[in-house]
Each structure stands twice: as structure tokens, then as C-alpha cells.
Amino acid sequence: MPPRTLVLFDIDATLLNTQDAGVVAYEMASVKVFGVAFSFVNVPLHGRLDSENYADAVRRHGLGIDHVEHADAFQSAYAIALEKVAEDRGGFEACPGIVSLLECLTDLPEIQIGLLTGNWEKTGRFKIQAAGIDGTIFRCNAFAEHGEHRDELVPVARHQFKSMHGAVPDRIIVIGDTPRDVQCAKAGQAEAVAVATGVFDAEALRATGADLVVENLSPTEGLLEFLRR
């Protein structure tokens, strides 16, 4: 029997904490490629796609260039910079409870897990590796390359599941730490678990209408019961 539930995890502040390593790497990469350090002061980045943040930064800094033309060079420089930041910090820290939760879920044949993230694929997978998490367990995935907006990503993961198993899952659950994670779940006709391990507290996340709000992803009975029902 194929799995009947697809659980999709965000990366930053859901699986792991990079302490704004991505912002630091963006700044380093922009100096390398454009000679200008991108500033993100008072710019809301949380829950957006890397491709959106990159394009907006090019426009905000008035570089007068086609951001698409330079996207490959920027992504390469960003990947190198992120690896340097991770090396300097001794890797990234997995969020509370996530390792044990993933172990529980991978033992359940009715559940398949995947990624739904604003990260570009290469650097998103690197972050997971740098946090000591086995990235091979995530099999149906949607990254920044797969859409122009986060709301387009649930259908990507649904299609991957159907390609693997011949049918769509009975349930799709998106787990993330921002209102945008909840919004994209609703846009994709999925359920949303909001976790208060990022910049948004539980009260703010409850206001989004998430199906379940938790402080962290420690595998409490309530969380596992919701995912398995």
C-alpha cells in the first residue's frame, strides 16, 4: 500500500536554525557578483522564495541590470558563501524535537515526508546536511525553482507524489514557522501545522487559521495524533 499522507516541511526555523546565515551569505554573494552588499534591514524575508528575495534586492539597490541574466552567477556565489558561513559556525543547529519527529515519521508506512521551502534546492539541501539531518528521507519536494510564489509549491509536491505512487495523497500537511507557510497550505488545499520556532509566536500563528499550532516539533502525542489521523 502506498502512503496516504504527505507531510511537507519548511527548512529555515522549522527543521533548523541558521541564525540568519542566509542573509550573511546573500551579502557576501552580492559583493562578489555586483560589488554591492545587499541590505535587508526592515525587509520582510520570512516565508518568501530565495528567487523573490534576490530579484527584489537587485531592484531595491538600483543596479539597473536584468536580475535573471545574473541569477546563475549569484546562486553559485551564494552557495559558496553559505558553505563558508556554515564552516565558520561549525554547522547549523537542528530545531527542538525535529530529529526524533523525523525518526518517528520515517517508521510510519502511511506517511511520506518531503520539503516545501523557499530555498533554492542546492543551498536548501546543504543547510539540511549542515544541521546533521539526513536529506535523503525527503522524497517529494518543492523548492524556490519550482514556482514564482510560495503558493505554487503544494501542487508541485502533490504531482511528485502522484508520479511516484500513481495517485494523489489523501492528505497533505505543510509544517512551517511563518504565516506564508499557512497561506501556501491553504492555497494548495492542504492542512497547515504552524510551529513557533521562528520569529512568529504562537499567538500570531493562531491568527493565521492554521489547523494546528505548536511551540516546537517535539513528537508529542497530540502532534503525532494530528499527523496520523
- Determine phi and psi for 173, rounding to 5 degrees: -125, 125
Residues 134 and 120: their CA atoms lie apart, in Å, by: 18
Give the pLDDT mean for 135-145: 97
Query: pLDDT tens-digit profile of 71-115?
Result: 999 999 999 999 999 999 999 999 999 999 999 999 999 999 999
| Domain residue limits, the chain | 5-17+92-228, 21-89
What pLDDT shows up at residue 75? Answer: 97
Q: Is 17 exposed, middle or buried (0-12, 13-18, 19+ CB in 10 A)?
A: middle
The H or E element containing residue 147 is: none
Chain centroid to Cα 189, Å, comes to 18
Q: Are strands 93-94 and 191-195 parallel, antiparallel or unpaired?
A: unpaired
Residue 94 is predicted with a pLDDT of 97
The Cα–Cα gap between 36 and 15 comes to: 31
Q: What Å distances lie between residue 172 and 48, 115, 117, 156, 158, CA to CA? A: 20, 12, 15, 12, 8
pLDDT band at 222 (very low <50, low <70, confident <90, very high): confident
What's the pLDDT at 41?
82
What number is the average pLDDT over the span 127-132?
A: 98
- What stretches of 90-229 show up as alpha helix (H) in DSSP? 98-106, 121-130, 153-165, 179-187, 202-206, 221-228
* pLDDT value of residue 45: 81
Rounded to two decimals, the pTM is 0.95
Quick check: helix, strand or coil at residue 65?
coil
Report the relative pairing of strands 93-94 and 16-17 from DSSP bridges: antiparallel
How does residue 69 score in pLDDT terms, banded at 50, 70 and 90? confident
- Tell whether the torsion through CA atoms of 15, 16, 17 and 18 is positive or negative: negative
The correct CATH number of 5-17+92-228 out of 3.30.70.260, 1.10.132.10, 3.40.50.720, 3.40.50.1000 is 3.40.50.1000
What's at 56, amino acid-wise? D
